[in-house]
Structure 1
Amino acid sequence: MPDSAADIILFDGVCNLCHGFVQFVIGQDPAGRFRFAALQSPAAQALLAAQGLAPAALPASDPDSVLLLSGGRLYSHSTAVLRIAHGLGGGWRLAAVGWVLPRPWRDALYRFVARHRYRWFGRQESCMLPSPALRSRFL
Structure 2
Amino acid sequence: MKIELTKPETFKDNPKIILFDGVCNLCSAFLIFVYERDRRAVFKFAWIQSKQGKQILDYIGFAADDYETIVYIEHGKIHSRSSAFLKIVKHLRFPWPILCIGIIIPPFIRNWLYDIIARNRYKFFGKKDKCMVPTGELASRFL
Residue type of the alignment partner of 2:129: E
Give me the TM-score of the superposition, normalised by structure 1: 0.88
Pick aligned residue for 1:128 from 132, 136, 140: 132
1:69 counterpart residue number: 73
Displacement of 1:3 after TM fit?
4.8
CA RMSD of aligned residues (A): 1.8
Matched, 1:49 2:53: no
- Alignment map for 1:1-139 (pairs within 5 Å): 3-51=12-60, 53=61, 57-60=63-66, 62-64=67-69, 66-139=70-143
Q: Report SS of the residue matched to 1:63.
A: coil
Q: Counterpart amino acid of 1:82?
A: L
Question: Structure 1 residues 94, 35: CA separation in 2 closer, same or farther (over 3 Å shift)?
Answer: same
Unaligned stretches of 5+ in structure 2? 4-10
TM-score by length of 2: 0.86
Note the C-alpha offset of 1:90.
2.6
Q: Read off the aligned partner of 1:118 and give its amino acid letter.
A: Y
Q: How many residues align?
A: 134
Q: Which runs of 5+ in 1 are unaligned?
A: none
Contact 2:22–2:28 (Cα < 8 Å) also in 1: yes
Structure 1 SS opposite 2:90: helix
Q: Which moved more, 1:4-13 or 1:117-126?
A: 4-13
Percent sequence identity is 37
Question: Which of 26-35 and 9-18 deviates more?
Answer: 26-35
Where in structure 1 do 4 or more consecutive aligned residues deviate above 4 Å? none
Q: Return the letter of the residue paired with 2:126.
A: G
Point out the more displaced range, 20-29 or 30-39: 30-39
SS at match of 1:130: coil
